[in-house]
Structure 1
């Protein structure tokens, strides 16, 4: 219930931001047009954002025949977590990463890259997929997927505000300073929203994943490996759609400039320390 409330608040905040940008672009008419766009985007995000994100990454669905070992691993973990069996996807990417998406546990999907399957041992991969299923169990997946879709829409609308904003009688931007501020601040606001909802839930998903798999050391080891490999292997789809970075188990972006400043993930070292503290025999 709490995450549903957070999703509603997020949608309301983004709707207000859409209306503010629309007002700057075209006064009351622009504001009402932006409201209509925001309502349509909210509807689309709730029902179809998971499909959109999976398509962005060219994810292909697998089953017990096409990927038996991976599928059965997810199936076993879902049973341990008390969850319905999610749809399972593989992404043909060298960068090691994984994410979960969907609007609720009954309509969830988990995805992993071929890179993560090569880099990690079976035990470590099991820890990663347990982490993703913890996101499903905590119902993080809706707000995560919606925020990714809406953040991309805000960036697009901000660019429209800059390019197609109000014009004076001579065809020049009516208020170029306001247009520039909108272009800069709207995507920044979207990033701040994502950052606020992402960091704490990664810690909770680590804890939940360790409980589901029963092996916190395996997840800690997986995070260290992913962190080491991901820095040298760019994830092209994530670079094209940076608003989806907060969905991944590890930040897939190169980290330059504002991307590094507004990272949606906590430090890997702290995540590993917390997991090791959960391990049997930890002091």
Structure 2
């Protein structure tokens, strides 16, 4: 199903490229845009995950450099019945995490240091399980390609501002160029939102099943949301097309459960997880002390990993 979504996404983005190319340079511009779109589609499938990780300065860790986090992720992957993904840490104070990769065999999970310093061991397990759920559901292919192509469409639309106004051969002129400058990024954002919102609820549910306790993820979401506004993620602010990849929207500003939000309302997600815990006969409350210091892994709490 997600391969079909990705195919539709690539087709939609290609059409946007061609439309902008037509406004910029008529039929010749449209053909050039088609060629660029084809190259972008190919590169997005094979290299967009590396591009996003590089964008955020993610550093890969292993069993030697981050033994507790690595072991917990490995055992969660085993519980999920999937290969161990590559594991990355991003030196960023804002607590957050994301997954990327074109399939479970070529996937990566990245967590911010702010998240590792804030959450308990169980809560980190809940977050990692959520990201593994995205990989298992093959959401990451669509998410990563969307981030890359949405950024490319926005840049191409902005380029139209400088080159399209003097080109009236296509019959649209300045009005058409201005309309495309507005509509192209908006259309890219709508596609981005369409593949973002429902998958978060699905990943929350599967993540709860993987880690074994919905309250762990509910508690993590509450803490991440509570600390969000105290830290600005400058990289995300300059690359908003990647916002939908994170477990909670990394952008500053109003975050509501409406059409123009990349994520469902966090309170609604927590409530859904509490309902799931109640259905499983578990306590719906949560809590715990945050991790502090120069790294993660010092908690004495023990989860299903040992």
User: Any residues of structure 2 matched to 1:189-204 within 5 Å, and which?
Assistant: 189-204=187-202
Determine the structure 1 residue equivalent to 2:163: 164
What CA deviation, in whole Å up to 9, does each residue of 1:227-280 have, x standing for no partner? 01012211111101100000000001012699x961110001110011011113
- Which has the larger share of helix? 1
Q: SS state of the match for residue 94, structure 2?
A: coil
Determine the structure 1 residue equivalent to 2:79: 80
Determine the structure 2 residue equivalent to 1:59: 58
Distance 2:260 2:202 in 1: 20
Distance 2:229 2:271 in 1: 20
**What's the CA shift for 1:176?**
2.0
What CA deviation, in whole Å up to 9, does each residue of 1:10-69 have, x standing for no partner? 001110111111111111100000000000000000000000000010000000000111
Distance 1:86 1:168 in 2: 49
What CA deviation, in whole Å up to 9, does each residue of 1:124-177 have, x standing for no partner? 0000000000000000000000000000000010011111225259xxxx8222
TM-score (norm. length: structure 1): 0.95
TM-score (norm. length: structure 2): 0.88
Determine the structure 1 residue equivalent to 2:281: 281
Q: Does the 8 Å contact 2:58/2:110 carry over to 1? A: yes
Distance 1:71 1:183 in 2: 44
Structure 2 alignment gaps of length 5 or more: 285-306
Question: Does 1:96 pair with 2:88?
Answer: no
The equivalent position to 2:216 in structure 1, one of 210, 218, 221, is 218
Q: SS state of the match for residue 103, structure 1?
A: strand
Give the number of equivalent residue pairs. 277
Distance 1:222 1:178 in 2: 46
Q: SS state of the match for residue 75, structure 1?
A: helix
Question: Does 1:48 pair with 2:47?
Answer: yes
Between 229-238 and 248-257, report the one with greater CA deviation.
248-257
Determine the structure 1 residue equivalent to 2:177: 179
Distance 2:175 2:59 in 1: 45
